[in-house]
């Protein structure tokens, strides 16, 4: 029997996690979710699988290949609309009208725990003849019974709600139904919530697991423009009318952030024996892989799974309900409860994680539904100085410059006046510059207008010229707090963006100033590399003393009435 | 026998001296011999008070003489006499005439069971202990006297007669019981001492079975002391264990061979069954005491001490230390060790640094001031541990700073000389180094490919080797400077050595030449230099690997006490004629794109050892195609006839396509980002290039020439990068 | 550019000529296929022989789609070779244009 898996991969609710990979490729314990599905199907003899892909299909194909890894044959189809791939499904004509196919969604894994007890299916043709079967195979929808006891439903759905359904009568598995297909299961075709529920105390309803056996005809008759809900209704109605609804155990579903945590918890609680993690269980409910470095004072509380090569630092408390992927580092005294940590992540010191998904630089709080991207600077520690000190230093500096400005104000006014009289056209030019320090994202850059008496911040011919035409008006910006006296050259957004990445990164994290190292050191216009070297050098050396030194040098040049040359000229 | 016994059960002390029985006693002749006059006198007094006659001797020879002359029915002999001791004398008497008729008592100070045995074995009838209280002595003597009298009377009630014998036996038995009781008491004293020990002490026979064990056996939950007898040592600890290979049985076997040589065997063992660590000692028991054989059933004493606590502490410490070392090596890796440059035209560089058990201060770094120059700095900070590592990092930083500072200063873009750079760094660091009581040895080598020479500043570092291919000899480059931090002012001189193509250089730290187990067996510079010569044709990365294995072989272990740092630089041979052109020159015509693609495909397929598959070939083809299309469309504004050259290079780990054009400098950020909703049909080009290549740079060179550089690293496909 | 055109029911199938659709010939292709787009509502491009498509090629295809869409028609692609499909997935073309593995699937998807 052919299988069709709808793996459109997109789930708007889980946008933060699906940035890097589609939902079915999120890991469950040691391998991607969809791989578990494939393994189980192949193990039950269902080896021809067609995938319907939409979001990041290349990732699916890279993982699954052509199927030979599991002795199966895969085919991939692309669907244009991830939310409504059913029209494409219709067009594919994957089965003849009377042929059954097993249809399912890649973000739901139905229970196959009874697989060992039942014989594997090699070929649909070898099924035992069905006595009371209808002349054509009937569509079967696999549902599970959700029981809601009105007990305390805590925010952590896994604990509060008791919706285990394994153990009620008529439980089978997909394999059982496809194998026997007959009298073993009485159709429990009730879908309404009131059925079979003792009044008042408990509500139970049948929910679709996302998996069904349908015929080609059913697919042909799919109405157009169905979304997933519509599709579910259609399948259930087909099953109710012409087929049966089979009740099986509760599937592992990956449809929300909370689901990710819950499926891990269920697996670690051994509800799905077929997905028991490979590394040995070293204590009841504690799974530890190889290459671990766990500080003796770290506490592990079951159920907890730690992947390979992880480092758990002093005083950490991991669990209950913690799943840590490979190559993670959990720093000192962190607390990790009911949390899934994707491989390669770092959890910092004294962090308290509860109901959270950590995916490298993304932190997703499943209770609040909030997600946070942690930029690199944050993890390495603040690149900038202590805020309070910085602020106070800033204020003092500005006051000093304001004082200076007050002193030289007449000069400034005189220059302006002189220029006004000598020039036609505008006297004061404004140039957009980005306020530093700034964030990485361009959209977050704030700009200000840098004042100057020269257009386009052209270099003045002499240092005195520079003093009057660039420096003095720039003081106003300094007083305003846009930039400081000494720093890196102010640049506009269009000048910053084309810089090479490292240069840009470190430039954005420094501070800008009127007087620059490269200005003062070079007589000629520096080349790109020279400018970069100068800026790096300044950023390493910067500090009050060095700034003063630069200012002094600047003053010296002015006083010595030097000329500033262009490249190829030598200064006097 | 019972009757006699019940009669004799009456404590002999009840038979006080001077009781009515005295009248039945005959007057006997008693011989008393001993070397201690006071003892002899005491005995004499006692005997006389019992109504006998005494002949006393201080010399056994005289005593013997007298015995020969006269018959003494009762003799009291001191055990220790000269020249013949009491036991010998006794034996002699017994074997002599009328031997069985005498009553012989040995007087001894030692009341151990062994002595008692010896005495009885020698044929004495009884023994007296010097440590007995007088009334006991009295009573015993009285008994002896009676026996002697009985014997002297001879006949049926003589000592040989049944009654007499039974009587004598019973009495003797009682005496033995008493002494045994004493021994018992002493034994109990010892036992309680042994039981109070925290260690488990077992006496083992020569088969490894336990004879006795102290109560620690119960304290450890093994077995009750009464149940250990005959139990094999292994079964005591592991009652359930059936493994023949169990360590405990092994332990006993090994111990046996050692104790058989009368040596003590001791080890620390881990018992996984019980989960504890033990310190085990097996001591052989001396079978000979005072030169005489002592009957002892036990062959070995086994002492087990539980050292689990200590062991756990030790292991934790070791683990903590390992973590420290790991951190240290991480510091080292990230701060001190940099990657050697890979795509240097004309030079092949390989470097290796292996951390020692402690963190060391080795560091190296590379500069490429321009396309034809490579600066290599290799240094070693004196001292060990994190401080040395940090000084190394700071030194490296200073070099960076000095380099940039001097370069920005230098007129006309000339490079600062190595000696200037070193002097600059020294000026900045010297004082601090002196304060820290540390110094840094280093060498700064500048390989100039234009002038084919190496400019070298050496500061106390091991001599760099220069392999001259033309002569197949290896010459160290001499340097004359002091390490940094020796003296506050120091001027640095540089040495200029020309080289030819095919020559190679080897930089190393003293960890390499000092590797070895002992002084006098170090790896040494000669060996390294010979090794270099032998392996001169091997590529640098291979050479480094071979040096590493050679050093490990020589040292006998892969743990070193000093870091191993080694850098090999080879000047490439004159480039052989390329098999296929790696440069393509076209004009800015979209029709040429096909040629570009074919060029990329043929270049890729030429790289024999870069087999990454079709998909990567397509990625490269697509990216270069897009880049060239962009040049034509945007840099040249679509005008045909302008030159574009594409240069393909392959170095160790990457493929680089360099695209040169003279059009408008392309600013990647002015291009709007692609929108994936189909509303726009342009703008994908850059996205495609960025996704498929590992590094994309746009630079402006001299004379208006622009360069777009596309780099693809080995084994980094898009999938792996995500 | 000679495009081979077939009719299959209401669907017009255009077999793209040549092996490449790049910056050089994508404009030409676009121009030559324009009349087909203007006359038909349901167009299917069969890309069986295509070995190389670059961003201009993609742009041309999208332009075709837009032309049809403004007239209420639809464009689909089929028989896309592996490297070209990788490119399409990279720039998410498959979210804009229906891409099918076989011609039959594509034709069926147009519906009745």
As a whole number, the mean pLDDT across chain A is 74
Q: Which of residues 398-437 of B touch A (CB under 8 A)?
A: 401, 404-405, 407-409
* Predicted complex ipTM: 0.87
pLDDT of amino acid A281: 65
Residue A134 pLDDT level (bands cut at 50, 70, 90): very low
Percent with pLDDT over 90 in chain A: 3
As a whole number, the mean pLDDT across chain B is 78
pLDDT one-digit tens code per residue, B108-125: 887 778 888 888 888 888
Report whether pLDDT(B26) > 80: no
Residue B622 to residue C87, Cβ atoms within 8 A? yes
Supply the pTM of this predicted model.
Answer: 0.46
The DSSP H or E segment spanning B204 is strand B200-204
Q: What is the DSSP letter of B565?
A: E
Residue in chain A lying closest to C103 (CA): A92
Backbone angles phi, psi at B302, to 5 degrees: -110, 125
CA dist B88 and B499 (Å) reads: 99
Q: Please tell me which of the candidates C54, C63, C97 has its beta carbon nearest to residue B625.
A: C54
The first and second tokens of residue B313, run together, are 């502490």
CA dist A188 and A17 (Å) reads: 37
pLDDT one-digit tens code per residue, B410-456: 665 677 888 888 888 888 888 888 887 888 888 899 988 888 888 99
Q: What structural domains and CATH numbers belong to chain A?
A: 2-258 (3.90.550.10), 277-373 (2.160.10.10), 387-559 (no CATH)
Q: What structural domains and CATH numbers belong to chain C?
A: 4-109 (3.30.750.24)
- The answer for residues whose C-beta is within 8 angstroms of residue A323's C-beta and 6 or more apart is A29, A261, A264, A265, A268, A304, A305, A339, A340, A341
Report whether pLDDT(A133) > 70: no
pLDDT one-digit tens code per residue, A289-303: 877 888 888 888 888
Domain at B2-188: CATH architecture: 3-Layer(aba) Sandwich (3.40)
Give CATH 3.60.40.10 domain extents, chain B: 328-571
Report whether pLDDT(A165) > 60: no
CA atoms within 13 A on the CB side of A200: 0
What is the CB neighbour count within 10 angstroms for residue A502? 10
Q: Which residue has the higher pLDDT, A317 or B20?
A: A317
pLDDT of amino acid B597: 92
Q: Which of A219-228, A497-506, B404-413 has the lowest mean pLDDT?
A: B404-413
Give CATH 3.40.50.2300 domain extents, chain B: 2-188
Cα–Cα separations (whole angstroms), residue A311 to A334, A346, B349 = 12, 10, 34
- The answer for residues whose C-beta is within 8 angstroms of residue B596's C-beta and 6 or more apart is B584, B586, B624, B625, B628, B646
pLDDT one-digit tens code per residue, B256-270: 888 777 788 888 888
Cα–Cα separations (whole angstroms), residue A525 to A271, A571, B369, B511, B688 = 71, 12, 19, 47, 36
pLDDT one-digit tens code per residue, B41-88: 888 888 888 888 888 888 888 888 888 888 888 888 888 887 788 888
Q: Please tell me which of the candidates B323, B408, B698 has its beta carbon nearest to residue A530.
A: B408
CATH number of B197-306: 3.30.450.20
Q: Which of A216-230, A368-382, B479-493 has the lowest mean pLDDT?
A: A368-382
Q: Please tell me which of the candidates A533, A540, A541 has its beta carbon nearest to residue B407.
A: A533
Do the beta carbons of residue B688 and residue B681 sit within 8 Å?
no
Residue B688 to residue C87, Cβ atoms within 8 A? yes
Give CATH 3.30.565.10 domain extents, chain B: 583-721
pLDDT of amino acid A188: 35
pLDDT of amino acid B232: 81
Report whether pLDDT(C15) > 50: yes
Report whether pLDDT(B678) > 70: no
pLDDT of amino acid B528: 85
pLDDT of amino acid C75: 92
Residue A51 pLDDT level (bands cut at 50, 70, 90): very high
Q: What is the topology classification, in CATH, of domain B328-571?
A: Phosphatase 2c; domain 1 (3.60.40)
Longest CA–CA separation in chain A, Å: 109
- The helix-helix angle for B385-409 and B308-331 (nearest 10°) equals 0
Percent with pLDDT over 90 in chain B: 2
Give CATH 3.30.450.20 domain extents, chain B: 197-306
pLDDT one-digit tens code per residue, A381-400: 333 345 566 677 777 878 88
Correct CATH for B583-721 of 1.10.10.10, 3.30.9.10, 3.30.565.10, 3.30.360.10: 3.30.565.10
Longest CA–CA separation in chain B, Å: 157
pLDDT of amino acid B371: 75
Residue A380 pLDDT level (bands cut at 50, 70, 90): very low
Q: SS3 for B90?
A: helix
Report whether pLDDT(A458) > 70: no
How far apart are the CA of B591 and the nearest CA of chain C, in angstroms? Answer: 5
Q: Which of A487-496, A515-524, B369-378, B491-500 has the lowest mean pLDDT?
A: A515-524
Residue C77 pLDDT level (bands cut at 50, 70, 90): very high
Residue A57 to residue C89, Cβ atoms within 8 A? yes
Residue in chain C lying closest to A81 (CA): C95
Roughly how many angstroms between the first and final C-alpha of chain C, as a whole number?
Answer: 31
- The helix-helix angle for B614-630 and C82-90 (nearest 10°) equals 60
pLDDT of amino acid B153: 65
Q: Contacts of residue B316 in chain A, CB cutoff 8 Å? A: 296
CA dist B258 and C26 (Å) reads: 92
B334, B408, B416: best to mutate for the A interface, most A CBs within 10 A: B408
Residue A50 pLDDT level (bands cut at 50, 70, 90): very high
CA dihedral in degrees (A490, A494, A495, A497; nearest 10)? 110
Residue in chain C lying closest to B632 (CA): C23
Q: What is the number of CB-based contacts under 8 A between chain A and chain C?
A: 44
Residue in chain C lying closest to A78 (CA): C99
Q: Contacts of residue A77 in chain C, CB cutoff 8 Å? A: 100-101, 105
Q: Please name every residue paired with B429 in a beta bridge, in sequence order, or none if there are none.
A: none
Q: Contacts of residue B700 in chain A, CB cutoff 8 Å? A: 528
Residue B635 pLDDT level (bands cut at 50, 70, 90): confident
Residue B407 to residue A530, Cβ atoms within 8 A? yes
CA dist A131 and A323 (Å) reads: 47
Q: What mean pLDDT comes out for the span A230-237?
A: 88
Report whether pLDDT(B188) > 50: yes
pLDDT one-digit tens code per residue, C21-62: 888 888 889 899 999 888 888 999 999 989 999 888 888 898
Q: SS3 for B29?
A: strand
How far apart are the CA of A63 and the nearest CA of chain B, in angstroms? Answer: 10
Q: Contacts of residue A521 in chain B, CB cutoff 8 Å? A: 408-409
Residue B333, chain A, CB below 8 Å: the answer is: no
Winning range, highest mean pLDDT, from A455-469, B237-251, B297-311, B314-328 = B297-311
């Amino acid at each position: 029997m052919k299988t069709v898996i709808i793996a459109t991969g997109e789930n708007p609710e889980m946008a933060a996690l699906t940035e890097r990979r589609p939902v079915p490729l999120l890991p469950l314990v040691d391998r991607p979710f969809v791989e578990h599905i494939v393994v189980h199907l192949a193990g039950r003899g269902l080896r021809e699988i067609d995938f319907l892909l939409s979001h990041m299909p290349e990732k699916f194909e890279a993982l699954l290949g052509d199927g030979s890894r599991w002795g199966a044959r895969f085919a991939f189809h692309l669907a244009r609309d991830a939310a409504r791939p059913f029209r494409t499904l219709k067009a594919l004509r994957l089965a003849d009208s009377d042929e059954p196919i097993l249809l399912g969604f890649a973000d739901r894994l139905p229970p196959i725990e009874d697989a060992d007890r039942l014989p594997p299916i090699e070929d649909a043709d070898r099924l035992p003849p069905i006595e009371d079967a209808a002349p054509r195979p009937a569509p079967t929808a696999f549902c599970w019974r959700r029981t809601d006891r009105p007990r305390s439903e805590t925010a952590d759905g896994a604990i509060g709600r008791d919706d285990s359904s394994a153990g009620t009568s008529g439980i089978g598995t997909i394999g059982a139904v496809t194998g026997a297909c007959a009298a073993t299961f009485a159709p429990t075709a009730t879908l309404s919530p009131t059925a079979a529920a003792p009044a008042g105390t408990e509500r139970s309803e049948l929910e679709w697991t996302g998996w069904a056996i349908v015929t080609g005809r059913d697919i042909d008759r799919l109405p157009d423009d169905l979304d997933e809900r519509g599709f579910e209704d259609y399948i259930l109605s087909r099953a109710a009318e012409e087929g049966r609804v089979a009740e099986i155990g509760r599937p592992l579903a990956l449809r929300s952030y909370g689901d990710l945590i819950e499926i891990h918890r269920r697996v670690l609680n051994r509800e799905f024996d077929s997905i028991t993690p490979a590394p040995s269980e070293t204590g009841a409910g504690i799974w530890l892989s190889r290459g671990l470095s766990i500080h003796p004072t770290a506490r592990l509380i079951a159920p907890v799974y730690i992947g390979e090569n992880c480092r758990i630092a002093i005083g950490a408390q991991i669990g209950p309900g913690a799943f840590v992927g490979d190559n993670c580092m959990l720093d000192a005294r962190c607390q990790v409860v009911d949390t899934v940590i994707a491989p390669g992540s770092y959890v910092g010191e004294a962090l308290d994680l509860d109901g959270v998904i950590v995916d490298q630089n993304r932190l997703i709080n499943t209770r609040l539904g909030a997600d946070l991207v942690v930029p690199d600077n944050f993890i390495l520690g603040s690149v900038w100085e202590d805020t309070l000190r910085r602020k106070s230093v800033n204020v003092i500096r500005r006051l000093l410059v304001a004082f200076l400005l007050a002193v030289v104000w007449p000069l400034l006014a005189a220059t302006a006046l002189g220029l006004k009289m000598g020039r036609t056209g505008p006297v004061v030019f404004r140039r957009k510059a980005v306020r530093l320090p700034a964030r990485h994202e361009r959209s977050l850059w704030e700009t200000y207008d840098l004042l100057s008496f020269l257009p386009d911040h052209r270099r003045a011919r002499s240092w005195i010229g520079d003093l009057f035409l660039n420096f003095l008006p720039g003081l106003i910006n300094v007083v305003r707090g846009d930039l400081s006296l000494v720093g890196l050259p102010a640049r506009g957004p269009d000048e910053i963006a084309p810089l090479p990445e490292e240069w840009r990164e470190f430039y954005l994290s420094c501070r800008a100033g009127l007087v620059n190292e490269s200005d003062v050191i070079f007589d000629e216009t520096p080349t790109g590399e020279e400018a970069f070297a100068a800026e790096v050098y300044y950023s390493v050396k910067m500090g009050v003393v060095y700034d003063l030194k630069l200012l002094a040098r600047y003053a010296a040049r002015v006083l010595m009435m030097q000329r500033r040359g262009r490249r190829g000229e030598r200064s006097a | 026998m019972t009757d006699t016994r019940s009669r004799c059960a009456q404590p002999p002390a009840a038979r006080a001296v001077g009781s009515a029985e005295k009248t039945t006693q005959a007057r006997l002749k008693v011989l008393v011999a001993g070397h201690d006059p006071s003892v002899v006198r005491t005995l004499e007094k006692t005997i006389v008070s019992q109504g006998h006659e005494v002949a006393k001797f201080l010399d056994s020879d005289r005593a013997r003489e007298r015995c020969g002359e006269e018959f003494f029915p009762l003799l009291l002999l001191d055990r220790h006499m000269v020249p013949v001791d009491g036991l010998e004398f006794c034996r002699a008497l017994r074997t002599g005439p009328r031997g069985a008729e005498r009553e012989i008592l040995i007087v001894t100070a030692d009341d151990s069971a062994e002595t008692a045995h010896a005495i009885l074995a020698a044929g004495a009838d009884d023994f007296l202990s010097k440590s007995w209280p007088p009334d006991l002595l009295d009573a015993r003597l009285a008994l002896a006297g009676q026996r002697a009298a009985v014997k002297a009377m001879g006949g049926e009630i003589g000592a040989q007669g049944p009654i007499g014998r039974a009587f004598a036996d019973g009495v003797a038995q009682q005496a033995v019981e008493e002494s045994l009781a004493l021994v018992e008491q002493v034994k109990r004293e010892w036992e309680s001492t042994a039981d109070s020990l925290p260690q488990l002490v077992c006496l083992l026979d020569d088969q490894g079975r336990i004879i006795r064990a102290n109560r620690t056996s119960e304290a450890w939950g093994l077995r009750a002391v009464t149940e250990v007898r005959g139990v094999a040592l292994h079964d005591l600890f592991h009652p359930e264990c059936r493994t023949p290979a169990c360590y405990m049985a092994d332990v006993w076997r090994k111990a046996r061979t050692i104790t058989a040589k009368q040596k003590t065997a001791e080890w620390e063992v881990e018992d996984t069954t019980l989960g504890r660590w033990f310190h085990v000692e097996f001591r052989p028991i001396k079978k000979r005491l005072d030169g005489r054989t002592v009957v002892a059933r036990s062959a070995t004493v086994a002492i087990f001490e539980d050292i689990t606590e200590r062991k756990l502490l030790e292991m934790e410490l070791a683990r903590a230390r390992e973590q420290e070392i790991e951190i240290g090596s991480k510091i080292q890796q990230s701060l001190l060790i940099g990657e050697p440059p890979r795509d240097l035209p004309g030079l092949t560089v390989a470097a290796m640094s292996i951390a020692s058990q402690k963190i060391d201060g080795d560091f190296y770094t590379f500069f490429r001031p321009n396309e034809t120059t490579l600066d290599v700095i290799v240094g070693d900070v004196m001292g060990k541990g994190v401080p040395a590592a940090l000084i190394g990092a700071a030194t490296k930083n200073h070099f960076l700073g000095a380099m940039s500072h001097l370069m920005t200063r230098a007129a006309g873009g000339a490079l600062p000389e190595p000696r200037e750079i070193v002097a600059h760094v020294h000026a900045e660091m010297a004082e601090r180094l002196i304060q820290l009581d540390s110094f840094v040895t280093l060498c700064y080598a500048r390989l100039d490919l234009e002038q084919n020479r190496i400019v070298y500043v050496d500061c106390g570092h091991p001599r760099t080797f220069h392999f001259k291919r033309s002569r197949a000899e290896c010459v160290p480059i001499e340097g004359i400077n002091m390490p940094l931090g020796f003296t506050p002012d120091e001027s640095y001189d540089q040495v200029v050595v020309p080289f030819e193509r095919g020559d190679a250089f080897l930089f190393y730290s003293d960890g390499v030449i000092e590797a070895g187990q002992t002084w006098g067996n170090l790896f040494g510079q000669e060996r390294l230099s010979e090794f270099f010569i032998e392996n001169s044709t091997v590529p640098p990365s291979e050479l480094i690997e071979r040096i590493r294995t050679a050093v490990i072989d020589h040292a006998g272990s892969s743990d070193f006490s000093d870091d191993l740092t080694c850098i090999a630089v080879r000047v490439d041979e004159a480039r052989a004629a390329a098999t296929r052109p790696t440069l393509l020159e076209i004009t800015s015509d979209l029709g040429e794109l096909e040629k570009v693609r074919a060029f990329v495909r043929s270049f890729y397929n030429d790289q024999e050892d870069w087999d990454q598959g079709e998909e990567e070939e397509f990625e490269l083809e697509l990216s270069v195609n897009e880049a060239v299309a962009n040049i034509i469309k945007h840099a040249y504004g679509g005008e045909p006839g302008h030159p574009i050259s594409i240069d393909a290079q392959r170095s160790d780990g990457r493929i680089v396509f360099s695209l040169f054009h003279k059009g408008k400098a392309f600013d990647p950020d002015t291009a709007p980002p692609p929108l994936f909703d189909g509303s726009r049909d342009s703008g994908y080009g850059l996205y495609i290039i960025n996704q498929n290549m590992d590094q994309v740079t746009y630079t402006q060179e001299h004379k208006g020439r622009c360069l777009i550089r596309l780099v693809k690293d080995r084994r980094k496909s898009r999938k792996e990068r995500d | 550019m000679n495009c081979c055109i077939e009719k299959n029911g209401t669907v017009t199938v255009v077999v793209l000529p040549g092996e490449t659709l790049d910056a050089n010939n994508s404009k030409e292709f676009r121009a030559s296929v324009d009349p087909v787009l203007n006359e038909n509502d349901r167009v299917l491009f069969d890309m069986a022989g295509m070995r190389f498509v670059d961003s201009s090629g993609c742009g041309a295809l999208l332009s075709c789609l837009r032309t049809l869409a403004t007239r209420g028609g639809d464009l689909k692609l089929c028989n896309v070779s592996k490297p070209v499909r990788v490119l399409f997935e990279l720039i998410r073309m498959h979210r804009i244009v229906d891409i099918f593995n076989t011609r039959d699937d594509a034709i069926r998807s147009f519906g009745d």
